[in-house]
Structure 1
Amino acid sequence: MTQNEKRLMEIAAIQIFLQHYNQINGSDYSLLRMQERPDALITNSQGVILGIEVTHLFYEPYEAKMLLGRSEDDYLHTTQYMEHLIAELQRILDRKMEKGATYEFEMPMILVIRSASPVFFGEDFLYRVQDLRIKPEIFKEIWLLVRENENPGWPNMIQIR
């Protein structure tokens, strides 16, 4: 994945996040700018600025290739287990919390994790995220973006913290 592709995926995740976040919280945050550490800054009409760190959750690395249209193999026919995806989510959380602790950023930060799984929906994560280990002092909030489900009432975004 090139840096440009990574940045475009981050921007797309932030746009989806802001749409749902503002709707859930009755807020009016918008993207202020993209940057490094954290990946982006968002602001609202009162001038409150928050840092956004974005990452993607893949079951296996081939999902990134599929998302970018580069997959030559047909992996959709393999069996996927939720336990594996939750373990990968925990690895991402551990890595991001360690990395986030090194940021020289004074304002609160939100971690946005976008699940790229073509198999699992919000309801698959809903009852499993409570078992994740999280250090609360690093990120003010942690949100998981999931693939939209056809069933109304199921979340497209789950707050982990």
Structure 2
Amino acid sequence: MRNHNDEKAALEAAAIGIFLNIYNLNHPQPLSIWKRQERPDYVLTDGRHHRIGVEVTHLFYDHLEARRVLGRLNPNNHGEESFEEFAQVLNDLLQQKEKKFKKYNQSYPVSLLVRNVSPLFGMSDVLKHKDLYYKPSGMMNVWFLSKDGIDEWLLKDLFDL
């Protein structure tokens, strides 16, 4: 049986792999993993050997959805979901990570990668409501990785909204 740290590491590895595939298809300077560590989760390097830290986090609508998606709870409805509540969960996550970033002590810039795991709301929902999001300081980018009713992952920097 996998423990929480193994599961978290596997989720983070999957997210950074998806991120790198999409990022490298759309940017002239590809990134690759330099090392895995605790703070930030990954250090990437570009072709010029510049380092970029990436903190990886996952977004769920709520703790019940997280338990369902991770197979720890039988599927059931838990009331009516609203995008405003989803946006608030995202904003709380961004504020939490902003506090964490202030404790980092590294010589390279750090970005946040938010992988939306919720099947309730996708990229188009996020883009339609771009005025609802908190803009954290201290981060080079806030990459939002999400599906949108299709099997393909989409990537957008929330700072570009």
TM-score using structure 2 length: 0.88
CA RMSD between the two structures: 2.0
What is the number of residues matched between the two proteins? 157
Q: Which structure 2 residue ranges, 5 or more long, are not aligned?
A: none
SS at match of 2:30: coil
Question: CA distance change for structure 1 residues 149 and 23 in 2, over 3 Å: closer, same or farther?
Answer: farther
Report the Cα offset of residue 133 of structure 1.
Answer: 2.3
Q: CA deviation at 1:18?
A: 1.0
Give the Cα separation in 2 of the matches to 1:151 and 1:63.
19
CA distance in 1, matches of 2:131, 2:139: 16
Deviation readout 1:98-154 (Å, 9 max, x if unpaired) = 110110112001100011111211100003233322233x110111111243399xx
Q: Which residue of the partner structure matches residue 93 of structure 2?
A: 92
Bigger CA drift: 22-31 or 45-54? 22-31
Indicate if the aligned counterparts of 1:21 and 1:27 stay in contact, CA closer than 8 A.
no
* 4+ aligned runs moved over 3 Å, structure 1: 148-152
Give the structure 2 partner of residue 30 of structure 1.
32
- For residues 125 and 5 of structure 1, the distance between their equivalents in structure 2, rounded to whole angstroms, comes to 27
**Match of 1:111?**
112
Report the 3-state secondary structure (helix = DSSP H, G, I; strand = E; otherwise coil) of the residue aligned with 2:88: helix
- Give the equivalent residue in structure 2 for 1:158: 156
Output the CA distance in 1 between the equivalents of 2:149 and 2:74: 27
TM-score, length of structure 1 as denominator length? 0.88
Gaps of 5+ in 1: none
Cα distance 1:148–1:27, how it changes in 2: closer, same or farther (>3 A)? farther
Q: Cα offset for 1:73? A: 4.2
